[in-house]
A and B are shown apart, each in its own frame.
Chain A
């Protein structure tokens, strides 16, 4: 079972991303997944989060995620806005961040970090700064889910705008890096059964 917490800002598609990830895993990889959005007094630009759990086995737990295996930041400004992105994390927690470069303010510098400039990818592919589908590609690049499943889920969810969003996902998967110096990994395994949810 893999527990994921996605932080971002209202309007970035955080809740949609959690749902699409779960559709990719539960429908297109025939495993199990559930997306648990935290609805509140939302407004555009305010910090929001969504939880997702994916697993090879049926998922019993029906609450929020308290000990994330992955923390995904759609916008690192949530740190400045007082969101404790370290809540419930351990040394093993992996961070996936939408950023051009790692910043001193990150409280997770000793954790494994993936980064991708999903903002640039989204602006290029979609013409809008909505990073959610690029970040879904990044999740595939980090080995959480297969890119083919992500593309299928985006295709079923986004209708006419699906091709551009698929392009964003593919581009972000290609560009994601595990650290500052690494080159983009072009040889990521796309075989479903090797993804994190299936081997843990």
Chain B
């Protein structure tokens, strides 16, 4: 294991190299492009023994990955934003074929307006496509979660493709020291890929992904649902095995100072680090606040999440996307559902922060904590750290 400076994109590419992906089909898009570029370098100079297939779109990138993985090889692709949107149809195909493709998703806002920068709308829009979704807090997480994802996704009881999500620019282009494991250690953790469901074989041809009548469709979907039901314990086990092998611990949810907390902010991704920093500052003033980071958004670790919230604590959720027309952002909606499903009656304040590359600044986090500590609750989702001109910005005519 050596310590090297890596940006998040490169940490993902290192994990894919160490997992010995045999086929790469990636279409470059900001801010994912460095992954596509460095995998091309690796295949070119022999550091990665893989075939790099150039494609004309993300739809084809995922199609090629599916076809390649069906022949019994790990495949590599990655994308962002509208690239993920263009893949949408094929995301469902990969999931339905039970192909455990692991794909880094570099989170970037969706149109419109155009933005190159981070929020979670792209992966949240794809949350029901049948892929697991893990969210990284830092560049080490990116590498670790990719390796964990291969191990969990390829388990015969799971067979669910997995997105490893990292915040565009905040992680994809942030330089940090990352421990990169040796090939030998990764080989011990990830044995050679074996197709466990379907395998394309010219000696034994078959149809895949064909038309299914109503008499069978629900059962096929239920199989996917069962894969997800199995995924959470398998993911937990994979994380523990990872810790044994590499010495770093991970968990589907990570509570920080929650045990005695009077106010807790739930978050995903890199903003969780910023929330923890503010937790430290509040604790130094004697204010009991905490952070609950969701690493695995799909499968959703409902029981552990609810168990990590102490009785009486006020809870808010920081969503880096919005489910337009819903009561709150997608993470908040799921947290409310989990709380209710576990038989508790706790009001969960929804917040929207950090869209289109806006930093989740300390001022946003403190305003959320201060609202919770003051006992303020609003059933409407609260958009934080917004300019005063929100309703007049770029308006070309007066509102009717």
Q: Please report A residues at the B interface, Cβ cutoff 8 Å.
A: 18-19, 22-23, 26-27, 32-37, 39-40, 59-64, 66
Does A19 lie within 8 Å of B175, measured CB to CB?
yes
Does B274 lie within 8 Å of A61, measured CB to CB?
yes
Q: Within the assembled complex, what's the spacing in Å between the Cα atoms of A37 and B176? A: 12
15 contacts between A and B (CB under 8 A): A18-B175, A19-B175, A22-B5, A22-B175, A23-B5, A26-B176, A36-B174, A40-B116, A59-B273, A60-B273, A62-B167, A62-B274, A63-B170, A63-B274, A64-B361
Does B362 lie within 8 Å of A62, measured CB to CB?
no
Q: Please report B residues at the A interface, Cβ cutoff 8 Å.
A: 3-5, 31, 116, 137-138, 167, 169-171, 173-177, 270-274, 276-277, 280, 359-362
Q: Which residue of B lies closest to A34 (CB)?
A: B176
Does A61 lie within 8 Å of B273, measured CB to CB?
yes
Taking CB atoms, residues of chain B closer than 8 Å to A61 are 273-274, 277
Does B359 lie within 8 Å of A35, measured CB to CB?
no
Q: Within the assembled complex, what's the spacing in Å between the Cα atoms of A37 and B169? A: 8
Q: Within the assembled complex, what's the spacing in Å between the Cα atoms of A61 and B365? A: 12
Assuming A32-B177, A62-B273, is B116 touching A39 (CB within 8 A)? yes
Q: Which residue of A lies closest to B175 (CB)?
A: A35
Assuming A23-B5, A27-B5, A39-B116, is B174 touching A60 (CB within 8 A)? no
Does A60 lie within 8 Å of B276, measured CB to CB?
yes
Report the minimal beta-carbon distance from A84 to chain B, rounded to whole angstroms: 16
Does A27 lie within 8 Å of B173, measured CB to CB?
no
Q: Which residue of B lies closest to A51 (CB)?
A: B174
Taking CB atoms, residues of chain B closer than 8 Å to A36 are 170, 174
Q: Within the assembled complex, what's the spacing in Å between the Cα atoms of A36 and B174? A: 5
Which of B3, B116, B174, B280 sits near A62, CB closer than 8 Å?
Answer: B174
Assuming A36-B170, A39-B116, is B177 touching A27 (CB within 8 A)? yes
Q: Within the assembled complex, what's the spacing in Å between the Cα atoms of A64 and B167? A: 14
Q: Within the assembled complex, what's the spacing in Å between the Cα atoms of A60 and B270? A: 9
Residue of A23, A36, A60 with highest tally of chain B CB at under 10 A: A60
Q: Within the assembled complex, what's the spacing in Å between the Cα atoms of A22 and B176? A: 8
Does B362 lie within 8 Å of A37, measured CB to CB?
no
Does B359 lie within 8 Å of A39, measured CB to CB?
no
Which of A23, A35, A66 sits near B174, CB closer than 8 Å?
Answer: A35
Report the minimal beta-carbon distance from B358 to chain A, rounded to whole angstroms: 10
Does B138 lie within 8 Å of A62, measured CB to CB?
yes
Taking CB atoms, residues of chain A closer than 8 Å to B271 are 62-63
Does A39 lie within 8 Å of B175, measured CB to CB?
no
Report the minimal beta-carbon distance from B99 to chain A, rounded to whole angstroms: 32
Taking CB atoms, residues of chain A closer than 8 Å to B270 are 62
Report the minimal beta-carbon distance from B201 to chain A, rounded to whole angstroms: 45
Taking CB atoms, residues of chain A closer than 8 Å to B362 are 63, 66
Q: Within the assembled complex, what's the spacing in Å between the Cα atoms of A62 and B273? A: 6
Taking CB atoms, residues of chain A closer than 8 Å to B274 are 60-63
Q: Within the assembled complex, what's the spacing in Å between the Cα atoms of A59 and B169? A: 17
Q: Which residue of B lies closest to A38 (CB)?
A: B169
Report the minimal beta-carbon distance from B120 to chain A, rounded to whole angstroms: 14
Taking CB atoms, residues of chain A closer than 8 Å to B177 are 26-27, 32-33
Q: Which residue of A lies closest to B176 (CB)?
A: A34
Assuming A27-B5, A39-B31, is B169 touching A63 (CB within 8 A)? no
Does A66 lie within 8 Å of B170, measured CB to CB?
no
Assuming A34-B176, A60-B274, A63-B360, is B4 touching A27 (CB within 8 A)? yes
Taking CB atoms, residues of chain B closer than 8 Å to A39 are 31, 116, 169, 173
Taking CB atoms, residues of chain B closer than 8 Å to A62 are 137-138, 167, 170-171, 174, 270-274
Q: Within the assembled complex, what's the spacing in Å between the Cα atoms of A63 and B362? A: 9
Does A34 lie within 8 Å of B4, measured CB to CB?
no
Report the minimal beta-carbon distance from A6 to chain B, rounded to whole angstroms: 13
Q: Within the assembled complex, what's the spacing in Å between the Cα atoms of A23 and B6? A: 9
Q: Within the assembled complex, what's the spacing in Å between the Cα atoms of A63 and B169? A: 10
- A sample of 6 more A-B contacts (CB under 8 A), given A26-B3, A33-B176, A62-B137, is A37-B174, A39-B116, A61-B274, A61-B277, A62-B170, A64-B359
Taking CB atoms, residues of chain A closer than 8 Å to B174 are 34-37, 62
Report the minimal beta-carbon distance from B339 to chain A, rounded to whole angstroms: 27
Does A63 lie within 8 Å of B361, measured CB to CB?
yes
Report the minimal beta-carbon distance from A156 to chain B, rounded to whole angstroms: 9
